[in-house]
């Protein structure tokens, strides 16, 4: 698997990805490996996908390991991080990518639905970051990237829980950066717009998709690999001055 930019910007590093078996997470695994990283892939309901993407990485002479992990369970998240550290010796970069986005009108949303979405999209990032930071701080260097969403910046009807969680991971990255930046830790976010994944295709179809497309100056939706390239950039030394920031690969649908 050749490096995309020919420089191997993550050569010799180890990255851990939650929700790495499909969609944007899968693309992040492949993009990180393409830049020379070893990859720890956490999955919940996508075991086949996680094993397939790990095999792709290994097939190009790079290292990958898969870990079953329900990110809503703090003990399982810590077990994933500890397992990855034991397998690879350390974790240089963490990508908090796992997420769900059910459609729930606000006045019909149950407390259970709210709690599940917040736990999956936001609290999981807290658990994983808290688990990985001691090792990063000991080495004096580390990068955390949270996968947020355009909806976390603008809000959206029917997904108040999702938008709130994604706004939360943006604030989480800023808070981690302010607390640990002087000790070598950089935490940043990517906030994609509609992206061509299983989740994104639910929005891309029909009249809703046509309306959303009309909002995009670029004239097309994003691809998972394009979001993954932004994540790899934030993991690499090329983004050494970016801390507490949010990149917006959204085809121009939001220009903050």
Active site residues: 162
As separate numbers, helices (DSSP H) first and strands (DSSP E) second, the chain gives 10, 7
Query: Angle, to 10 degrees, between the axis of helix 74-88 and the axis of helix 124-139?
Result: 30
Largest CA distance in the chain: 52
User: Beta strand 14-17 with 38-43: parallel, antiparallel or unpaired?
Assistant: parallel
Q: Which residue has the tokens 């698997």?
A: 1
Burial of 90 (0-12, 13-18, 19+ CB in 10 A): middle
Burial of 81 (0-12, 13-18, 19+ CB in 10 A): buried
Phi and psi of 247, rounded to 5°? -85, 145
């Amino acid at each position: 698997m050749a490096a995309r930019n020919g420089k191997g910007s993550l050569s010799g590093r180890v990255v851990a990805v939650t929700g790495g078996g499909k969609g944007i997470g899968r693309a992040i695994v492949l993009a990180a490996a393409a830049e020379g990283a070893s990859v720890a892939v956490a999955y919940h309901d996508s075991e086949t996908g996680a094993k397939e993407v790990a095999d792709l990485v290994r097939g190009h002479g790079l290292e990958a390991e898969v870990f079953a992990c329900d990110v809503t369970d703090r003990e399982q998240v810590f077990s994933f991080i500890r397992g990855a550290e034991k397998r690879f010796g350390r974790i240089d970069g963490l990508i908090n990518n796992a997420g769900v986005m059910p459609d729930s009108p606000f006045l019909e949303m149950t407390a259970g639905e709210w709690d599940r979405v917040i736990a999956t999209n936001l609290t999981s990032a807290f658990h994983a970051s808290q688990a990985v930071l001691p090792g990063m701080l000991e080495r004096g260097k580390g990068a955390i990237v949270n996968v947020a969403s355009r909806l976390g910046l603008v809000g959206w009807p029917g997904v108040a829980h999702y938008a709130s969680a994604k706004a939360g991971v943006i604030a989480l990255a800023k808070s981690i950066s302010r607390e640990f930046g002087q000790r070598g830790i950089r935490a940043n976010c990517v906030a994609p717009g509609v992206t061509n994944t299983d989740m994104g295709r639910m929005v891309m179809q029909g009249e809703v998709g046509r309306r959303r497309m009309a909002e995009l100056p670029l004239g097309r939706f994003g691809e998972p690999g394009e979001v993954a390239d932004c994540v790899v950039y934030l993991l690499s030394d090329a983004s050494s001055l970016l801390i507490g920031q949010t990149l917006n690969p959204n085809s121009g649908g939001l220009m903050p």
